[in-house]
Structure 1
Amino acid sequence: MASGQQKAQQNLEAFEVWQATQADNDFKQIIFRGQLNRGEVAKAIGCGKSALNQNPALREALKTLEDNLREKGVLPPVTESAKKDDSKPKQYDNTANRKLMDSKRVSALEAENIELKAKVKELESKLERFGELNETLSEMGFMPR
């Protein structure tokens, strides 16, 4: 069984072979969100997606490939905000799911509130109409017992 370093070297060599056999049109077919689709690259070279991040040599080779493709115009250029955020680790937002649930609940409650306000207005108008009718009947002496 190969050690971790040997496996890392094999993955790098497989990447270099794969890269050499691809044309610009091949790369265009696996673009996802402005970069090469990591899952497709991993499948093509026969490793896991995690190897693309954890293997420093492989990660650097992939970055170099993407930079070259950007120079050729195959990949879109990196925006200024992406350049700034590239070196920073992304902060995990553990409240994102809660915020989504809260916003859905708020919108449902607002819709229910609008429906209930309309129903209250309708019932108030009926009450006013029947209140006048009741008053008229009592003045005429036709009140039911």
Structure 2
Amino acid sequence: MANGQQKAQQNLAAFQSWIATQQHKDFEKIVHGGQLSRTEIAKLVGFGKSALVQNSKVRSALKQLEDKLRDKGVLPPLTDMAKSKTDKPKKYDNTTNRKVLDSRRLSSLEAENIELKAKIKELEGQLQRFGELSETLSEMGFMPR
């Protein structure tokens, strides 16, 4: 069984040999959002997508590959905003999940509120109609015992 460092080396070797077998048209097929699709690369190379993120040597080789493909016109050039964000890790927002749940709950409560208001309006109409009928029967002397 290979330890973590050996596995990282194996993943790097597999990635580099995969790069060597690819042509520009092969890379063009897996472009997604202005960069190479990480999911497709992981499938084609035969390792987990996490290797592209966690293995610094593979990550750096991928960055070099994308830079080279940008220079050759296979990938579109990076925008200024993308250049500024490449070095900074994303900030973790621990409230994201709560916000999504709250949003779903809010929309279901709003839908329920609308349904209940419609039901109240319908019942008030029936109450008014039956109130008038009861009053008419009372005036005519046909009140039930």
TM tier, smaller: 0.7 to 0.9
**CA distance in structure 1 between the partners assigned to 2:97 and 2:69 by the alignment:** 36
1:120 Cα shift?
A: 0.7
Unaligned runs of 5+ in 2: none
Q: What count of residue pairs does the alignment treat as equivalent?
A: 145
1:67 Cα shift?
A: 1.2
Counterpart residue number, 1:123? 123
TM-score, normalised with respect to structure 1: 0.78
**CA distance in structure 2 between the partners assigned to 1:54 and 1:64 by the alignment:** 16
**CA distance in structure 2 between the partners assigned to 1:136 and 1:55 by the alignment:** 85
Per-residue Cα deviation, 1:52-109 (whole angstroms, up to 9, x for no partner) = 3344443222212101212333223323322222111111222222222221221111
Map 1:105-144 onto structure 2 (within 5 A): 105-144=105-144
> Match for 2:53: what amino acid?
N
**CA separation of 1:35/1:143 partners in 2, compared to 1, >3 Å: closer, same or farther?**
same
Map 1:18-33 onto structure 2 (within 5 A): 18-33=18-33
**Deviation larger for 87-96 or 120-129:** 87-96
**CA separation of 1:11/1:112 partners in 2, compared to 1, >3 Å: closer, same or farther?**
closer
TM-score, normalised with respect to structure 2: 0.78
3-state secondary structure, aligned to 2:94: coil
**CA distance in structure 2 between the partners assigned to 1:25 and 1:80 by the alignment:** 26
**CA separation of 1:117/1:21 partners in 2, compared to 1, >3 Å: closer, same or farther?**
same
**Deviation larger for 36-45 or 24-33:** 36-45
Counterpart residue number, 1:36? 36
1:49 Cα shift?
A: 3.7
> Match for 2:19: what amino acid?
Q
**CA distance in structure 2 between the partners assigned to 1:106 and 1:5 by the alignment:** 48
> Match for 2:113: what amino acid?
N
1:121 Cα shift?
A: 0.6
Map 1:1-145 onto structure 2 (within 5 A): 11-45=11-45, 47-145=47-145
Per-residue Cα deviation, 1:1-27 (whole angstroms, up to 9, x for no partner) = 877666655554543333232111111
**Deviation larger for 86-95 or 55-64:** 55-64
Q: CA RMSD in A?
A: 2.7
> Match for 2:116: what amino acid?
L
**CA separation of 1:118/1:40 partners in 2, compared to 1, >3 Å: closer, same or farther?**
closer
**CA distance in structure 1 between the partners assigned to 2:133 and 2:51 by the alignment:** 82
**CA distance in structure 2 between the partners assigned to 1:137 and 1:2 by the alignment:** 92
**CA separation of 1:30/1:135 partners in 2, compared to 1, >3 Å: closer, same or farther?**
same
3-state secondary structure, aligned to 1:74: coil
1:113 Cα shift?
A: 1.1
